[in-house]
Amino acid sequence: MNPSVHIPIMAEPILAAFKEGLEKFSGNVVLIDATFGGGGHTGIFLRDLPSRVKILALDQDEGPILRGQTQFKDEIASGRLHLKHINFGDLTRDEFPEALRNLPLGAILADLGFSSDQLEDPERGISFQREGPLDMRLNRQKGATAWDVVHELSERELADIIYKYGEERMSRKISMLIKSAIRSKTLENSTTALASLVERAFPPKLRHGRIHAATRTFQALRIFVNQELGALENLLGSVILNLDPGGRAAILSFHSLEDRAVKLAFREREIWRALTKKPIEADEAELERNSRSRSAKLRIAEKL
């Protein structure tokens, strides 16, 4: 399996916040990396945090888990790292490895973005920058693909999804064009073909703005296919509540729907002390090093 090309985002402020918080715990303590991906954040935690910090890394995509078993075989053998193939929204204490089940939980990181490995894999069909099938599933062992979704939903249902999850004002016209192409059997099972079709919903002068005309539609389909907001709701509603008092949650979001949900969760519940009044964004050095950090927003809170 090829090595990961993913660069972890905002690793320094996350590490600093976790270091400070974990000092409050004596003895062994658990840190959860809820979105293992390319293993970048986990690798930094293993390197820079004391060995008493045991790491449970999760991913709903089996590929990163298999890669991590080789990449971190020594840390796994020593019991410092545990990998688990699961969606973070489904995690309960009962799902913890037995060796970690009775330890305090001192930190949780959730990076809600896609890894570079996933974005650059044409077979996943997540990005229209690569020619590939309209799949978009993170866990390719279950669930409907984006190709299934555009066929099975009605024109109105598809438009509603594109508007709700993509905040796309041209959703009605985009849905009409997609369903028309399906009826005439001219829509190919292709990321670039769908992107080209979506472009046609926009006047020519609006097709080449700051972001590609198809960006919001692809975002909406990806969120729907992977039920991303439902998983985030579970994370914010129950999973991070497993944190022991003094434990810290750091969440990296990449679009307004996610950031809004995280902000409200940290503000509305009295059990949280927000450590970031405003979300932290990547500085110029990180933007130069990793352009995909441009839309990232980091919020950190401590459980009281």
Whole-angstrom Cα distance, residue 66 to residue 154? 38
Residue 265 lies in a domain: yes
Residue 131 lies in a domain: yes
**pLDDT > 90 fraction of the chain, expressed in percent and rounded:** 74
CA distances to 90, 107, 227, 237 from 231, rounded to whole Å, are: 8, 18, 6, 10
- Same domain assignment for residues 33 and 103: yes
Neighbour tally for 85: CB within 10 Å: 16
Residue 142 lies in a domain: yes
Q: What is the pLDDT of residues 167-212, one digit of tens each?
A: 999 999 999 999 999 999 999 999 999 999 999 999 887 777 778 8
Question: Residues 77, 78, 82, CA angle at the centre, nearest 5°?
Answer: 70
Q: What is the pLDDT of residues 4-51, one digit of tens each?
A: 556 889 999 999 999 999 999 999 999 999 999 889 999 999 999 999
Mean pLDDT of 106-120: 81
- Same domain assignment for residues 233 and 217: no
- Same domain assignment for residues 107 and 234: yes
- Same domain assignment for residues 294 and 216: no
Residue 210's pLDDT is: 75
Residue 182's pLDDT is: 97
Residue 110, SS3 per DSSP: strand
Residue 244 lies in a domain: yes
Residue 123's pLDDT is: 77
- Same domain assignment for residues 137 and 106: no
CA distances to 40, 84, 109, 170 from 49, rounded to whole Å, are: 14, 21, 14, 48
Instruction: Give the closest residue to 33 by CA, choosing from 24, 6, 295.
Output: 6
Mean pLDDT of 115-142: 80
Range of the domain at 16: 11-117+228-303
- Residues β-bridged to residue 251: 110, 299
H helices, E strands: number in the chain: 13, 7
| Residue 121 scores a pLDDT above 80 | no
Residue 115's pLDDT is: 66
Domain limit, last residue, from 175, 203, 226: 226
Whole-angstrom Cα distance, residue 274 to residue 169? 33
- Same domain assignment for residues 113 and 247: yes
Domain limit, last residue, from 226, 243, 259: 226
Q: What is the pLDDT of residues 132-165, one digit of tens each?
A: 999 999 888 788 999 999 999 999 999 999 999 9
**Considering its fold, how many domains does the chain have in total?**
2
Domain limit, last residue, from 198, 226, 254: 226
pLDDT band at 119 (very low <50, low <70, confident <90, very high): low
- Residues β-bridged to residue 32: 56, 108
Residue 176's pLDDT is: 97
In angstroms and rounded to an integer, the radius of gyration of the C-alpha atoms of the chain is 20
- Same domain assignment for residues 132 and 111: no
Residue 3 lies in a domain: no
Cα 144 to its chain centre, rounded Å, is 19
Instruction: Give the closest residue to 32 by CA, choosing from 90, 74, 71, 77.
Output: 90
Q: What is the pTM of this model?
A: 0.88
Residue 29 lies in a domain: yes
- Same domain assignment for residues 238 and 107: yes
